[in-house]
Structure 1
Amino acid sequence: MSSRPPSDRSSPAPERARPSSAQVRRWRRYLADERAEGAVYRHLASRRQGEERDVLLGLADAERRHEQHWRDLLGDLAGRPGKGALRTRVLGWLARTFGGVFVLALAQNAEQRSAYGGDADATNAMAADERVHGEVVRALAARGRARMSGGFRAAVFGANDGLVSNLALVLGIGATGVSAGTVLFTGISGLLAGALSMGAGEYVSVRSQRELLESSTPDPEAHSVIPDLDVDANELALVYRARGMSAAEAEEHAAGVIARVTAGHGMPEQELREYEEVGTGWTAAVSSFLFFASGALIPILPYIFGMTGTPAVLLAAGMVGLALMGTGAVVGVLSGAPPLRRALRQLAIGFGAAAVTYALGLAFGSAVV
């Protein structure tokens, strides 16, 4: 492997020995990955407008610079363009087909896994670029997460509650030794009761949160009295001090606002709306109801199709386990965390709760007998 003085990795050596076959393979892989990653950002940019589009195109240009670095090192050994790593190609397909915050979250993970920091053939600037790219994509993904936070939260919580609570209910009742019909109707009752409860609870929760936030929103009509304020006393500065600014910052900001309004430019937009978006109550309620119901349906499917006893229990537990891992992985991807770890955590929590109720059902069933 080639080396360079540790004090400056950003300047290539004037003359380079012919690279080894291992280097050529690695450089070609890097070249293909950079081409594929640049395509991902261009696909995402095609689905956006304004500032987000410009930022994504800027990332694509940076990937093109990295691509050129590997082309320069390879020279006539570059060969035909490769396809890139499988995960990058899958990411490209998702970007072309769907776009959205999930693709950005996956791209964030890809940037954070860059190998350039430990590769002597990559420049310091390239390693730094990849780290910064991860932060840029994180910021873009955060916008999407904020937009979908209310409905997504209700959907994930609803599905997981339905899966875990109804599996626990079905296993607990089934362990007492009652008939399969009793287990089925108990599961259906749990589905309906839980879905209605979740929907109503989410509506009240989100609606109450919005009302609390709206009560803290600055009065949009308050700016009409600003021209009449005593500039020497500047009571407006007290508003900004109450919001957490220091005395000097509040005085400066208030003077700027007064000057803007007096000149006829109106109130700055950020002064009029300062609370986060939490979604609507009905969106959260419907999402929670539907996802709870869909999750709660899975544990009773074997009983709906006539299965009984241990086979029904094992099939219900297996299907719920797969669903729990799926929801955990989705949350992991969206949050930029390792999806497998989140999937296994979700599985352990769900099966832990179900195991407790199953054991209690066995105990009660034995006591009755």
Structure 2
Amino acid sequence: MVTPSSRGSENPAPSSVRRWRRRLADEREEAKVYRDLATRRSGEERQILLGLAEAEERHAAHWAGLLGDDAGRVRRGAARMRLLAFLARRFGSVFVLALAQRAETRSPYRSDADATAAMAADERVHEEVVRGLAARGRARVSGTFRAAVFGANDGLVSNLALVLGVIGGGASPPTVVLTGVAGLLAGALSMGAGEYVSVRSQRELLAASSPDVRDAHAILRELDVNANELALVYRARGVPPEEAHRRAAAVLRSDDPSSAALVADQVQGEDGYDVVGTGVGAALSSFCFFASGAAVPVLPFLFGLSGVAALAVAGLLVGLALLLTGATVGVLSGGPPLRRALRQLAIGAGAAATTYGLGLLVGAAVG
């Protein structure tokens, strides 16, 4: 740890003091985030998060040592770090880990002359550690989350496009409401049924590809050790020949009854059912989120608005919802939320404008 007497200057510039204080506050806040997340985890994940917290506390000690008597009162961290701490205390979800990953990615230590090379290296490693933890959470929620995001986005875009299409064709407000509600119900039921069939089919495909380990332990005892047919199982799953022989030999040498399960785990790879989710969960998620999204364009008409006012309010509400879903995808994927939000908005606006234009053409043709 750096002590006050070891500072480069006994009278550091005010700008340096302010920067050190900001770094100190941020590190303390970040350590708090990891400790709060650790309270909601157990086993290995808990120990990893506590290790990250200890590393951030070492970094805080570095800035406290530079500041010495100039440290002053304990300050609050940056707004984004305080938000992370709040979310970690309340939820402790994969979204918090995704945000923490982005925070580690933006570490300023590589360009800060007052930070040590070890601190900069720590932050780079922390980014990968948090990425790994977030990946576990992403795998657990990816199936249901995918259905929810697609459902909400499809509901917003398709029903807005449908409503604008019939308005462009000259439909009356009651017809617009009826069309919007019918589109909501039809789309939600279709999305829910489609997700159920899709996920069930994918799980059945995975089951067909999973190793069959029935009576595997008895079979292992009867294998010809010299021929080692077990290596072919690994090779059939894409393992290189030398590695396949090494794994097979290790299993054959083992007297552990769980060797069969070990074979199944090793040859199955990283593709698992958690990534796919359950059919019922995906169907319910898709149905509910599609219905929620599809209801947004209809709300202004249900509350009695019509004409340009209804269109403006519907467009504004759908635009905000598209920005939210895009930003949510960005946060969970570790990408830039603003860019994802604007991309989602642009896609939705393009689809709605196209449908409205087609509605005008059809209305003019049949009018």
Q: Is the 8 A contact 2:155 2:293 kept in 1?
A: yes
Does the alignment pair 1:192 with 2:185?
yes
Matching of residue 41 in structure 1 with residue 34 in structure 2: yes
CA deviation digits over 1:121-173, x for unaligned, max 9? 11111111111111111100000000011111000000000000000000011
Please tell me the residue identity of whatever aligns with 2:311. Answer: V
Q: Does 1:359 align with 2:357?
A: yes
Letter in 2 for 1:16: G
Look up the match of 1:258. 252
SS at match of 1:232: coil
Q: Distance in 1 between the 2:175 and 2:61 partners?
A: 68
| In structure 1, distance between residues paired with 2:242 and 2:163 | 63
Deviations 1:6-48 (A, max 9, x none): xxxx999956222100000000000000000000000000111
For 1:224 and 1:307, locate their aligned partners in 2 and report how far apart those are by CA, in whole Å: 73
Task: Give the superposition deviation at 1:307.
Answer: 1.4
For 2:264, the equivalent position in structure 1 comes to: 272
Runs of 4 or more off by more than 6 Å in structure 1?
A: 10-13
Q: Give 1:151-170 correspondences, 5 Å limit.
A: 151-170=144-163
Q: Say which SS state the counterpart of residue 177 (structure 1) adopts.
A: coil
Partner of 1:293: 291
CA distance in 2, matches of 1:270, 1:115: 43
1:172 to 165, 181, 184: 165
Q: Which residue of 2 aligns with 1:223?
A: 217
TM-score (norm 1): 0.94
- Code of the residue aligned with 1:168 in structure 2: it is A
Question: Over residues 347-367 of structure 1, what are the superposed CA-to-partner deviations in whole Å (9 max), with x where a residue is unaligned?
Answer: 000010000000011111112
Aligned residues: CA RMSD: 1.6
Q: Which amino acid aligns with 2:104?
A: E
One-letter amino acid matched to 2:257? H
**Alignment gaps of 5+ in structure 2:** none
Normalised TM-score (structure 2): 0.95
Q: How many residues get paired?
A: 358
SS of 2:259's partner is coil
Choose which of 96, 99, 105 in structure 1 pairs with 2:89: 96
In 2, Cα distance between equivalents of 1:269 and 1:104: 31
Q: What amino acid is the match of 1:340?
A: L
User: Does the residue aligned with 1:289 lie in a helix, a strand or coil?
Assistant: helix
User: 1:304 offset after TM fit, Å?
Assistant: 1.0
Matches of 1:343 and 1:248, distance apart in 2: 47
- Per-residue Cα deviation, 1:172-198 (whole angstroms, up to 9, x for no partner): 111111111111111111111111110
Residues 219-260 of structure 1, C-alpha deviation per residue, up to 9 Å, x if partnerless? 121333110111111111111111122222222211111122
**CA distance 1:13–1:77, change in 2 (3 Å):** closer
Tell me, yes or no, if the aligned pair for 2:3 and 2:66 is still in contact at 8 Å.
Answer: no
* 1:342 equivalent in structure 2: 340
In 2 relative to 1, CA 264–72 (structure 1 residues): closer, same or farther, beyond 3 Å?
A: closer
Evaluate the alpha carbon distance shift between residue 230 and residue 314 of structure 1 in structure 2; reply closer, same or farther with a 3 A threshold: same
- Any residues of structure 2 matched to 1:72-87 within 5 Å, and which? 72-87=65-80
1:241 counterpart = 2:239 = no
Q: Return closer, same or farther for 1:87/1:14 CA change in 2, 3 Å cut-off.
A: closer
Mapping 1:8-23, distance limit 5 Å: 16-17=8-9, 18-23=11-16
Contact 2:156 2:293 in 1 (8 A): yes
Cα distance in 2 between the residues matched to 1:12 and 1:241 = 60
- Aligned letter for 1:290? C
Task: Report if the CA contact (8 A) 1:11-1:123 is conserved.
Answer: no
Query: Does the CA contact (< 8 Å) of 2:4 and 2:66 recur in 1?
Result: no
Tell me, in whole angstroms, the C-alpha distance in 1 between the residues paired with 2:7 and 2:172. Answer: 81
- 2:118 is aligned, of 111, 122, 125, to 125
Tell me by how many angstroms 1:265 deviates: 3.3
- Aligned mates of 1:213, 1:317 — CA distance in 2: 42
Give the aligned partner of residue 58 of structure 2.
65
2:325 to 327, 330, 335: 327
8 Å Cα contact 2:98/2:331 also seen in 1: yes
1:305, distance to aligned residue in structure 2 (A): 1.3
**Structure 1 residues 99-108 or 232-241, which shifts more?**
232-241
Counterpart Cα distance in 1 of 2:101 and 2:244:
37
Q: Is the contact between residue 160 and residue 292 of structure 1 (CA under 8 Å) also seen in structure 2? A: yes
Q: Deviations over 1:83-141 (max 9, x none)?
A: 11111111101101111100000111111111111110111111111111111111000
Q: Distance in 2 between matches of 1:223 and 1:87?
A: 53
Shift of 1:345: 0.5
Which residue matches 1:108? 101
Mapped contact 1:34–1:67 kept (Cα < 8 A)? yes
Q: 1:79 to 1:268 in 2, by over 3 A?
A: farther
The amino acid across from 2:309 in the alignment is P
Identity %, equivalent residues: 65
Corresponding position of 1:316:
314
Deviations 1:269-290 (CA, angstroms, capped at 9, x unpaired): 4432433221110110011001
